Every structure is written in C-alpha cells, then in structure tokens.
C-alpha cells in the first residue's frame, strides 16, 4: 500500500490544455478534449473528489465551407455565461518584469470542480505556431497559474494526471512548491513522481514540438521560485539547448499510460538516459450518460446490462423490435438536428426514415482516411444506389493542416461533379458533439478506417456501439483492445485490399440490417466484446488502480 487516498481536501487533479464540453462552454478540437470532459463527468457520477484544470479559450473556432474549402470563423465565449465564477486574478511572469494577467474561474459540479483561466489576449486553442511563444505561454499559464489556483482555493491534490505533455508545468509547479517549502530536491522529485501520472496520446516523441532555452528563460524561469528546481529543469535540455515537453512529463511522473493496448505497445518514447519508456494501457472510455440515446440506456438499465453508474452487468441480447424502435427514434433525432445544420452548399438536409445511412464523423486527418470510400466512384455509387443508401461525412481539419484542407476540397469537388453521388453523399458543416450524438443514434453503420497503428484510441466508435450501429473498422486504436470478430473488420495487406474489404463490409452491413436475427446477433456481439472497454467506471477504476486506489 502506498497510502494515497482521495478526499475533498485531497482530490484527484486533472490538467488538460484541451477540454470539450459545450454544456460548460469550452470547446476543444477533438478526442483529447472529449476525453478530459468525459473523465470529469464519470468522476462526478461516481462521486469522486476531482478537480479539473483547463484554459478557457474566449475565441472558439467554427467551420464553414465555401466552394468546398474550409473557412474558419470565430465566436466569442465568456466563462460567466456558463456558470463560472471569477475567484481571482493571477499574474504569469515573463522576462523583463513583464507580466501577463489571467482571470481564474471556478465552477463546482457535484463532487467535481472545474478551474479555468484566461484573458482577452490568451488566444484560441492551438493558436500560433507549434513551438511558438504563444503556445508556451498558454502551457505555462495552465501549469503555474492552475497549480496556484488549486492551492489557493483549498485543494492539496493527492494525485495529478497530466493529460498530454503540454501540461507538464503542473508537476514543475508542484516540485517548486515542495522545494521552496524546504524539502530537498531528491525527496521532492520522488514525492511528485509517486503521485504524478503522464497520459500520452501521441505515437512518436520526434513529432512533438520543442522549445529553446531562450524561450524557457523568458516564459518559464520567471515562474519558478527555487533556483535548484530551475537547475533541474535546465539539466534536461539537449546539448543544442532544446527541450520537449514530454521529457519533463517523463522525468516527473512515476506512472505513465497510453490510451489503448495497441498504442501502449507502439508508442516510441525515451527518457533522458535513452531508455525506452514503458507505458501502461488505460483505454479511453466514454460517459455513456452523455452519449447514449436515453431510450436505449433505459433498456440497458432495465435488462441489467448496465447499472445506474454504467458498470457492466450481464450483456443479454436485445430484441430486434427494440433495436429497430431505438434506431427509428434516433433517425428522428438526427433529422431534428440536421434541420438546423447545413451541408457543403449551405442547405439543410434530411435523411429518409427508412433509408440506410453510413456515416464518417471525426476529425479530417489524413491517417483517418475520410477519402477512402470515394476511391472507386463506380463502386461506392453502386452500393448507395442499389440499396437506397446515404452517406454523411462530417469533421474539421486542423487549422494548420494544409494537406487536409486541400484533400477535403478535392473530395467535395469530386462529389459535386457527379449528379448521382451528390444526391446520396453529403458533408455536414461544423462537426461538434451535437452532431456526434445525432449521427451515432441516427445512422446504421459507421465507418472508421484509420491506417493501422496510427490511431491512439478513438472514441467515436464507442459512441456508435453503445447506440447500436454496425461498426465497420480497421483493427486499430481501442478497437484492437479485444481479439474481437464481432464488428465488420476492414483488413488487407495494402490499401487496395483494404478498400475491397471496406466495400464488402458496407454491402454486408446493409444485408444484416434486413435480417432481424443477423442484426440482433452482431449488435449483441459488439456490446459483449466492447461494453467493458466503453464503460467510464472501468476507465476511472483503471486510473485509480495505477495509484492503488480502489474504486468502490
């Protein structure tokens, strides 16, 4: 036993530069932020003492399409409008006695608290260049001001989870407090390591941004009080005076994890001694309360498939009549949402109640291959036309992902150039949580085809399984956690084979939907294989177990 316990005074603290939860007014870019928000929701439903620290970006990105091209537009958000209370303002110190004022806000929800911070010139999420001063200032703000805010308002964290390396300054601030308070460096480092967890979502350390000694001297050093701690940080720079944030998280954490079993195997990270870093696997789960169709969830509860905290009981088969009922309700909900949304031409669309619907809903990143089904136009057209089927695409490209901006435009032009395809394939603008839910409840089969080995976990497919979609997927990310044959697997030795496999599975999913027994069988098998993975309490329990804390 290591004696680590959680209480209201000593909560579980979670730092994340991204948070994605519109109900709380903060909209991240994708999976990393969704995970942070769901983790807080799961902690709340379990009654765990939990504090989350994250920036409040007052500039929020929205997407609109002009001639197939993604144009970014911006909306202003204010923490006050989402129930946050301003409790303090702090200064982040920069070189030459310059300071940067940050407002600190707080909101308590059940057993959890969100600390958030920002200012008018804080910038948007992922503002500026990858290794630029602006990013470093955001990261320093989160770590140093976030830590001070926690301490000032009563919390003395039992454990700190760093959701990605960008949050490393939380651990540096903790170390600085201990050393300034009189603990010697070695003991302080040991203390922090025992209680700090680094959660990695990236595959290769090489792909991460780096900062220079000059940038650290300007933006980080002025926020560290102890000379000894600064020397310790300085000692981690490379010979050419660069540092990666993951070097800090690796050196300051005793627990490290990746977000699926496959990811933990393939992530390639090294510590300062050049030793390969071992990662535990804690696969991302989701907050089922947030993502599941309420009617379906009620059925899961009534049959004992899930208990009231979304712990998995006995997975029993669902009646085809119920499945079809839930999907009909889901389709109506989807069409409700689509009334207020527009396609690539700025027009709202509706999907006929009895038509088969495929969807691809996730960030437009090249490795996720949104374009894959449109490689053989004759074939995709046949599948859709012969079966009266539709295909919805949605997802944003990262601001600076020029390749994907171009590929998206190319794809939309291809669709535009074909009258038949244009009738059955649409792209819905400005992908967000509302669309994610609407599509998982309202479509029949979802398509998830990352290049194998590239997806850290993915959670969209979990939303689909819980909402009784047939999953058509490559065996990657969290999908590969289970040696499962339940979903329709896309495989092949090369892309051409994978494409053939994808088309075969698309046809098969339509056949399955026509047959009650087949439909009930595959959806039951998917739930049986993946519900334990999807379950939020399973994820939270895995995290607590890293610290030998038992979830009751």
Ligand X SMILES: *Cc1c(COP(=O)(O)O)cnc(C)c1O
Residue 453 — left, alpha, or beta (φ > 0 → left; ψ -120 to 50 → alpha)? Answer: left
Contact 153, 87 (CB under 8 A): yes
Q: Shortest Cβ distance from residue 34 to ligand X (Å)?
A: 5
Give the residue among 328, 305, 333 at the shortest CA–CA distance from 318: 305
Give least dist CB 31 to ligand X, A.
3
DSSP 144: I
CB of 507 to ligand X, least distance (A): 24
Report DSSP state, residue 343. B
Q: How far is the CB of 175 from ligand X (least distance, A)?
A: 32
By C-beta, is 232 or 291 nearer to ligand X? 291
DSSP-assigned states of every residue in 382-418: HHHHHTTEEEEEE-PPPTT-HHHHHHHHHHHHHHHT-
Nearer to ligand X, 93 or 475 (CB): 475
Question: Distance between CA 333 and CA 294 in Å, rounded?
Answer: 12
* Pair of tokens at residue 68: 């197939």
Q: Are 243 and 237 in contact (CB under 8 A)?
A: yes
Q: Is 346 helix (H, G, I), strand (E, B) or coil?
A: coil
CA–CA separation, 497 and 490 (whole Å): 9
CB of 191 to ligand X, least distance (A): 34
Nearer to ligand X, 115 or 431 (CB): 431
| Continuous segment of H or E residues that includes residue 462 | helix 460-466
Residue closer to ligand X (CB basis): 333 or 424: 333
Q: Residue 435 — φ and ψ, nearest 5°? A: -70, -35
Sites of contact with ligand X (CB under 6 A): 30-31, 34, 362-363, 431-433, 436, 458-460, 463
Nearer to ligand X, 173 or 479 (CB): 479
Min CB(360)–ligand X separation in Å? 10
DSSP-derived pairing of the beta strands 99-109 and 112-118:
antiparallel
| DSSP structural state of residue 340 | T
Please name the helix (run of DSSP H) or strand (run of DSSP E) that holds residue 440, with its range, or none: helix 433-442
Q: How far is the CB of 32 from ligand X (least distance, A)?
A: 8
For residues 30 and 373, which CB has a smaller minimum distance to ligand X in the complex?
Answer: 30
Residue 128 CA to residue 137 CA, distance in Å, equals 11
Q: Find out whether 175 and 252 touch, Cβ atoms under 8 Å.
A: yes
Question: Which of 202/253 has CB closer to ligand X?
Answer: 202
Sheet holding 425-428, edge to edge: 425-428, 389-394, 356-361, 445-448, 470-473, 488-489
Q: Which is nearer to ligand X, 362 or 538 (CB)?
A: 362
In the complex, the smallest distance separating the C-beta of residue 437 from ligand X, rounded to whole angstroms, is 7
Round to whole Å and give the CA distance between 460 and 480.
14
CB of 23 to ligand X, least distance (A): 13
Closer of 70 and 247 to ligand X (Cβ) = 70
């Amino acid at each position: 036993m290591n004696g680590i316990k959680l209480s209201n005074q000593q909560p579980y603290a979670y730092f994340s530069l991204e948070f994605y939860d519109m109900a709380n007014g903060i909209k991240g870019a994708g999976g990393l932020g969704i995970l942070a928000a769901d983790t807080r929701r799961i902690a709340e439903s379990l009654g765990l003492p939990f504090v989350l620290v994250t920036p409040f970006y007052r500039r929020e990105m929205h997407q609109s399409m002009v001639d197939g091209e993604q144009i970014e537009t911006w909306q202003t958000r204010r923490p006050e409008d989402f129930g946050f209370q301003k409790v303090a303002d702090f200064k982040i110190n920069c070189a030459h006695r310059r300071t940067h004022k940050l407002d600190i806000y707080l909101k308590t929800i059940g057993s959890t608290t969100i600390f958030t911070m920002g200012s008018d010139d804080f910038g948007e999420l992922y503002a500026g260049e990858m290794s630029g001063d602006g990013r470093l200032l955001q990261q320093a703000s989160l770590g140093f001001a976030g830590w001070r805010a926690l301490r000032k308002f009563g919390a003395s964290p039992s454990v700190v989870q760093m959701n990605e390396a960008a949050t490393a300054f939380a651990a540096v601030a903790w170390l600085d407090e201990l050393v300034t308070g009189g603990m010697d460096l070695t003991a302080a480092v040991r203390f922090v390591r025992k209680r700090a967890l680094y959660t990695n979502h990236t595959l290769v350390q090489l792909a991460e941004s780096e900062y220079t000694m000059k940038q650290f001297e300007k933006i980080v050093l002025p926020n560290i009080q102890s000379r000894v701690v600064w020397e310790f940080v300085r000692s981690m720079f490379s010979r050419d005076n660069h540092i990666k944030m993951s070097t800090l998280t690796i050196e300051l954490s005793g627990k490290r994890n990746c977000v699926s079993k496959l990811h933990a195997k393939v992530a390639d990270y090294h510590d300062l001694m050049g030793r390969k870093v071992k990662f535990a696997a804690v696969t991302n789960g989701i907050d089922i309360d947030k993502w599941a169709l309420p009617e379906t969830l009620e059925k899961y509860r009534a049959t004992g498939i899930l208990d009231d905290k979304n712990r998995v009981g006995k997975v029993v088969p669902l009646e085809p009549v119920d499945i079809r009922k839930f999907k009909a309700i889901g389709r109506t909900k989807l069409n409700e949402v689509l009334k207020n949304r527009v396609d690539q031409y700025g027009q709202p669309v509706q999907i006929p109640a009895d038509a088969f619907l495929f969807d691809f809903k996730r960030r437009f990143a090249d490795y996720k291959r949104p374009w894959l089904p449109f490689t053989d136009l004759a074939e995709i057209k046949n599948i859709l036309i012969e079966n009266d089927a539709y295909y919805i695409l949605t997802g944003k490209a990262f601001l600076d992902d020029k390749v994907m901006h171009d590929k998206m435009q190319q794809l939309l032009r291809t669709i535009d150039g074909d009258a038949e395809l244009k009738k059955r394939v649409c792209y819905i603008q400005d992908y967000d949580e509302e669309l994610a839910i609407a599509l998982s409840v309202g479509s029949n089969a979802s398509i998830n085809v990352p290049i194998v080995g590239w997806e850290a976990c993915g959670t969209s497919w979990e939303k689909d399984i819980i909402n009784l979609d047939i999953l058509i997927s490559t065996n990657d990310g969290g999908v590969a956690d289970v040696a499962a044959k339940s979903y329709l697997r896309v495989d092949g030795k090369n892309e051409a084979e994978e494409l053939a496999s994808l088309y075969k599975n698309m046809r098969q999913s339509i056949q399955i939907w026509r047959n009650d027994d087949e439909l009930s069988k595959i959806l039951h098998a998917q739930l049986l294989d993946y519900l334990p993975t999807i379950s939020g309490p399973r994820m939270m329990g895995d995290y607590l177990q890293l610290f030998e804390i038992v979830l009751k």
